[in-house]
Every structure is written in C-alpha cells, then in structure tokens.
Amino acid sequence: MEGVVEVKILGQTLIVKSDGDETYVRAVEEHLREQIEEVKRYTKAVSTLDVVLLTALNITGELVKTKKQLDSLLARSEELTRQIEQRR
C-alpha cells in the first residue's frame, strides 16, 4: 500500500511516496538527518549542496561496503551448502 509522508530535511519539506509504512520513512529520514549532522560536525563544508553531496558519498560508501559483505556471505553460504550436499 503506497503512502504519502511529509519529511523535512535541511529546512526543505518534501512529500515522499513510499511502498513502506510511515515508520519506515521516518527511520530513513532520521538516518539521513544523523548522517547530515555528522558531515556538518566533521567537515568544513559550507554550502548545503556540499553537505548533501558529502552525505550522499558517505551513505553510498556504506551501501557499497554492505553489499560487498552480503555478496561475500552469500558466496560463503553457497559454498558451505555445496559442501554439505557433497557429504550426503
């Protein structure tokens, strides 16, 4: 069920359509807000665009790292499954 949620990020109000429920959208909003605040704390980025771009890079870096870890775990799981099947 598609829902519409209003979120506010960096003073901008956005209307977000989501297949997830409002709780999910709020969790995403909070994560983004936390990441933005971290960038603001630890960088000298002045413009909102710089802050947003650095935040996007950080989040994308996390995503790529997590995807690599997941791919590695899936490959290991498949290998272990093959080994178990061979021993039967």
Rounded Cα distance between 32 and 57, Å, is 12
Q: Residue 1 — pLDDT band, cuts 50, 70, 90?
A: low
Average pLDDT, integer, range 41-58: 93
What value does the mean pLDDT take over residues 40-49? 90
Please state the rounded mean pLDDT for residues 56-68: 98
Residue 13 to residue 26: CA distance in whole angstroms: 13
Whole-angstrom Cα distance, residue 43 to residue 34?
A: 14
